[in-house]
Amino acid sequence: MSTAVKNELRVCMLSVKYNIMREMLNKVTFLTNILFMALNNATFIVQWVILFSLREDIGGYALRDVMLLWGLAASTFGLAHILFARAFSLPDLIINGKLDAYLVLPKNVLLSVLTSQTSVSAIGDLLYGLVILCVFSLSIGRFFLFVLFTVTGAVIYTAFALLMGSLSFWFVRAEMFAGHMTSSMVSFATYPDGIFKGAVKFLLYLVIPVGMAIYQPVHIMMDFNAGRLLAVLGYTLLLSAAAVFVFYRGLRRYSSSNLMEARG
C-alpha cells in the first residue's frame, strides 16, 4: 500500500475516532442512543412473528430469512452511518457552501467529507444486525458472508446517497428528492423481494439499488452462488465509481458561500 493511501486512511480513521469521541462526551446519551436504536429495531421482530403465525411463507421468505434480511439491512445502514454519515447530508454541505473546509486540506475531498460525521445510534443498528444473525441463522460461512455483504451494502448505500446528494450541484431543492430516494432504499430493504413484481422489481434493481445491496446478498446467504457473489461485488465497484465520478463532476460547479464549518 502506498504511503499516500496509508496517510489518507490514517486521517479517515482519526476522523471517525474523533467523531465517536465527541459523541461519547455525554456517556448516558451515547449509550441510550445505541440501546434504544437496537430496541427500536427489535420491535419489528414482533410484527413479523405475528405475520408468520398467520402464513408460513411471505414472498418466498420464512421467518428466519426475513430476520436475516432485517439483520443485513440494519447492519448495512449502521456501518454506512458510522463511517460515512455525511454522505446522507451532502446536499446541506453543497447548498450552504460547507465544502470549503475540506477543499483547503491536502487530502481526498470526498473521503474527508464522508468521514467527517458519525451517527451514534447507527452503532445500535450494526450491533442489532449482528445479534439477529447470531440468534436466527448463525454459521461460520454465513457470518463471513454477512460481514462481506454488510461492507458491500454500506458502500452501495453510501454511493447511492452520494449520487443522489450530488444532484444538488446541478439542481436547487434536489435535497428533498435525494432524501426520499435514500430513505426509500431503507424502507424497501426491510420487506422480502418476493412480494414485489414487475415494474417495482425493475425499480428495486435498476433505480434504487436495494436489490444488489440487500436482496441478492440474502439469497446468496440462503443458497450460495459464486456468480451472484461476483455480480454483487462488480455492481458495488461500478456504482461506487459512478458516484465518485458524478461527485467530482459536480464539484466543478460548486459555488461555495461565506459559511465554513468543518466539524459541525
Partner 1 sequence: MNVIEAENLSKTFRVKRKEKGLQGSLKAIFHPQTEAVHAVDRISFTVEEGEMLAFIGPNGAGKSTTIKMLTGILYPDDGAVKVLGIDPSKKRKQLAYQIGTVFGQKEQLWTHLTPYDNFRFFGAIYDLPDAEAEARIRELSEIFELDAFINTPVRSLSLGQRIRCELAASLIHKPRVLFLDEPTIGLDPVVKENIRSLIKQMNKELHTTIFLTSHDVGDIEKLCKRIVIVNNGKIVLDDSMTHLKYHYLNKKIVELKLHEEAVLPQLAGITVLKQNGGHVKLEVDTGIMKINDALRHIDAENMVDINISNIPLENIIMEIYKAEGSSLKRGPLDGNHLKKEGL
Shortest Å, Cβ 82 to partner 1: 18
For residue 10, with 0-12 CB atoms within 10 Å meaning exposed, 13-18 middle and 19 or more buried, which class applies? Answer: exposed
Separation of alpha carbons 83 and 17, rounded Å: 10
Nearer to partner 1, 205 or 254 (CB): 254
Residues 65-94 that bind partner 1 (CB under 8 A): none
Q: Pattern of binders to partner 1 over 10-39, x per CB under 8 A?
A: xx--x---x--xx--x--------------
Shortest Å, Cβ 62 to partner 1: 47
Nearer to partner 1, 111 or 148 (CB): 111
* 207 touches partner 1 (CB under 8 A): no
CB 157 within 8 A of CB 77: yes
Shortest Å, Cβ 116 to partner 1: 10
Radius of gyration (C-alpha) of the chain in whole angstroms: 19
Taking Cα atoms as reference points, which of 45, 77, 120, 58 lies closest to residue 213? 77
For the chain, how far is it from start to end, CA to CA, in angstroms?
32
Residues 222-261 that bind partner 1 (CB under 8 A): 252, 254-256, 258-261
Shortest Å, Cβ 94 to partner 1: 13
* 105 touches partner 1 (CB under 8 A): yes
Nearer to partner 1, 9 or 233 (CB): 9
* 262 touches partner 1 (CB under 8 A): yes
For residues 97-106, one letter each, b for 16 or more C-beta atoms within 10 angstroms of the residue's C-beta and e for the rest, the string is: bbbbbbeeee
141 phi/psi in degrees, rounded to 5: -60, -45
Among 5, 39, 49, 103, binds partner 1 (CB under 8 A): 103
259 phi/psi in degrees, rounded to 5: -100, 145
Residues 107-146 that bind partner 1 (CB under 8 A): 107-108
* 2 touches partner 1 (CB under 8 A): no
Stretch that binds partner 1, among 52-60, 101-109, 174-182, 208-216 (CB under 8 A): 101-109
| Residue given cell 423481494 in the structure block | 193
25 phi/psi in degrees, rounded to 5: -55, -40
* 172 touches partner 1 (CB under 8 A): yes
DSSP code of 228?
H
Question: 191: Cβ–Cβ under 8 A, 6 or more apart, which residues?
Answer: 59
Supply 128's cell numbers. Answer: 442489532
The residues of the shown chain that bind partner 1, judged by CB under 8 A, are: 3, 7, 10-11, 14, 18, 21-22, 25, 99-101, 103-108, 172, 252, 254-256, 258-263
